[in-house]
Structure 1
Amino acid sequence: MTKNAEPFFITVPLTLENHECAKRFASEQSASAKVKQVYLNTLAVLAVDSFLRWMEFETDLNASDSWHPIIRRFNNVADLVLPDLGRLECRPFLAAENSLILPSEVIGDRIGYIAVKFVENLQQVEILGFLPACENIETPEIISLNDLHPLAELTNYLLNLPPIAEEELAPENTDEPNLSVELLRRWLENNYDGETWQKPEQILVSSGLRNQKINIPLNCSRAKVINLGNHLVIILISLTVEVENEMKITVSLYPGDTEPNLPLGIILKLLDEDGDLIAGDDYPEPMIELTEVDFNTEFSIEVTLGEDRFVEFFQV
């Protein structure tokens, strides 16, 4: 690690282990732009982690959103948790750029933003400076490099931060059910969100799709209509209790407008709680069937059409 002067910055080498970690996280993604985003975000976090530990600050990678597979899959995050202090955002940028663009999901939940400059060969990065998060002052979406505070001020800034409670650093997506998780076992008790998930026959009537041919199972089934790239698509989920505390789950897609077929290129995926692929199916009739699914299992449904994507989380 090298200190430089005029202007002052820190050069941090990127190790083979750093790149292997970044490749592993990036390989979880499907879109090429997302692969690059996760790769650079991961390297930026690892570089700042190395720098702060060199400065004898305690860090916790595993508590960071950027280390949570589902959160990083659906958000552009590059945070590093400093226990008792908060989340420090490590934003990567390329040599030709002269500003940092902050995603909306990292504004307002950080103690500061560190600029991490990447050179072409990705063998090292330059940590240029930081912008503190000031109370009662909204963080801008675009940070000019000229507005960065020098790294020489970072130590005093961090040491003077008030401590925060540990629960404030808990990842947004925890193992506990929350309002964004649909509990499938409640459907068996006829307890479900009737505004979004409805009985299939209700969907056909309310959406004006009476003539649509959908194979409605006799077991517990719910459906909803989503919009992907100006195409209406029906998601149908059917549940069958096979033995105590186990069920079969079937997920199917149907055209939700007057077209007889689904749009070309549509893809249906089921992902586990870590964001790893369980099963996938695509055009022309996507359908996935899972058997012997234990109660309390968590998974998500992902439907993509080009750049458009729908995701919803479930717990059995």
Structure 2
Amino acid sequence: MTYTTYNLDNFSVPLPIAQAARTTAQKFANQQPTPEKAAQVRLNTLAVLVVNDYLQMMDIETNLSASDSWNPVMRLFADIADLAIPGFGSLECRPVGVLENTCAVPPETWEERIGYIVVQIDESLLEAKLLGFVDSVDTEELSLSKLKSPEAFIEHLAKLKLSSASKPVNLSQWFAGIFESSWQTVEALWNSQEPELAYGFRGPETFEQETSHRTETITRRAKLMDFGIQIADKPLMLIVELCPQANEKTHIRLQLHPTGKLNFLPPGVQLTVLDDSGAVFLEAQARSADNYIQLQFRGVTKEIFSVRVAFNDISITEQFVI
């Protein structure tokens, strides 16, 4: 067999594999039922940890505990190597050997990914290289010749951030199971802030509940609102719940919760709904012992509104269209 580098050495990023990474990878491998599955999990885990180290060096926030690859049930039943990037979604980190021309990309990783980074892992498990990046895949074998430089992923993140900031979140698509990457399940975000709970199962994005002898279908997603040191480096969680009503109306419930070890919202935190002109429509403010605040209203299809979370002199605004 002839090995072709495809000029990958021109932009690949060499990185050492830390002893701590090898220890974690072996721990996860030991939990698997067969030697083949153990080898798969070991390499997947190393790939994730190598990419995690790289992104941290680039000052890009990551969250291992919110990743499916850190869930023992998901590791057991799927071939996944994802790394959660708060505010963006999941990045798939696929391992390859030194003498491979293609990278295996299992079908279960084709959805809900913001991109794919290929990591070459030396047989000694001491060294790795970030070979490159692609933003999407539709085949189980990705040719290494199609990879862009790892730095292209940094540019890709910047484009995703600009794109998400320039258009409103489409709530009607949520009913069809289509969600923006920055809006995740409540359980996933809660587990990311509470590592000791990270072994819990993901909850459904859509569920039914009985209300006054009728069944209502509720769709729910959440996003972290990061105020940095203003709130002890613990983000707040904004939850949006949708319930379809008659005559193209939608019932919307907004809740703002503390995360981490915060039991209560900081007094003075405001949750505000603005109409399409920017005028205040509804507003709630946390008191000294509120563990959450909420607002409820109804809107019609194609109606535009904004939600603002504010504390002291900092505010974060999200725009929506029903």
Report the TM-score when normalising by structure 2: 0.50
Q: 1:61 aligns with which of 52, 58, 64?
A: 64
CA RMSD after TM alignment? 2.5
Q: Percent identity?
A: 36
Per-residue CA deviation, residues 141-171 of structure 1 (Å, 9 max, x unaligned), is 2110000111232211111114543425855
| Structure 2 counterpart of 1:139 | 138
String of CA shifts for 1:187-227, please: whole Å, max 9, x gaps.
xxxxxxxxxxxxxxxxxxxxxxxxxxxxxxxxxxxxxxxxx
Q: 2:37 aligns with which of 30, 34, 41?
A: 34
Give, in whole Å, the separation in 2 of the partners of 1:90 and 1:9.
14
CA distance in 2, matches of 1:111, 1:153: 13
In 2, Cα distance between equivalents of 1:178 and 1:120: 40
The match for 1:165 is: 182
Structure 1 gap ranges (5+): 180-316
Which one of the candidate residues 109, 112, 115 is aligned to 1:109? 112
Alpha-carbon distance between aligned partners in 2 of 1:114 and 1:105, rounded to the nearest angstrom:
16
Alignment pair present for 1:16 and 2:19: yes
Gaps of 5+ in 2: 1-6, 165-180, 190-198, 206-322
Q: Which has the larger radius of gyration?
A: 1
Supply the AA of the counterpart residue of 1:167.
Answer: Q
Deviations 1:101-133 (A, max 9, x none): 111110122111111001121101010100112
Match of residue 152 from structure 2: 153
Residue identity in the other structure for 1:151 = P
- Give the distance between the partners of 2:118 and 2:11, measured in 1 at CA: 13
Provide the C-alpha distance between the structure 1 equivalents of 2:89 and 2:204, rounded to a whole number of angstroms.
23
Letter in 2 for 1:16: Q
SS in 2 for 1:167: coil
- The answer as to whether partners of 1:37 and 1:76 remain within 8 angstroms in 2 is yes
- The residue number in structure 2 matching 1:97 is 100
- Corresponding residue to 2:54 among 41, 51, 54: 51
Within the alignment, does 1:123 sit opposite 2:126 as a pair?
Answer: yes
- Corresponding residue number in structure 2 for 1:81: 84
- 1:301 maps to none
- Aligned partners of 1:120, 1:168: CA distance in 2, in Å? 37
TM-score (norm 1): 0.51
* Deviation readout 1:53-76 (Å, 9 max, x if unpaired): 101100000000000010111110
Residue aligned with 2:184, SS: helix
In structure 2, C-alpha distance between the alignment counterparts of 1:90 and 1:176, rounded to whole Å: 21
Range that drifts further, 38-47 or 163-172:
163-172
Tell me, yes or no, if the aligned pair for 1:77 and 1:105 is still in contact at 8 Å.
yes
CA contact 1:29–1:73 (8 Å) conserved in 2? yes
Residue 175 (structure 1) shift: 3.7
Cα contact 1:98–1:144 (8 A) shared by 2: yes
Structure 1: distance between partners of 2:204 and 2:89: 23
Shift of 1:7: 1.5
Contact 2:117 2:150 in 1 (8 A): no
1:273-292 aligned within 5 A? none
Structure 1 pair 6/39, CA: closer, same or farther in 2 (3 Å)? closer
Query: How far did residue 16 of structure 1 move?
Result: 1.0
* Mapped partners of 1:5, 1:149: distance in 2: 9
Deviations 1:230-275 (A, max 9, x none): xxxxxxxxxxxxxxxxxxxxxxxxxxxxxxxxxxxxxxxxxxxxxx
Counterpart Cα distance in 1 of 2:24 and 2:184? 27
Post-superposition shift, 1:140?
A: 2.3
Distance 1:176 1:140 in 2: 27
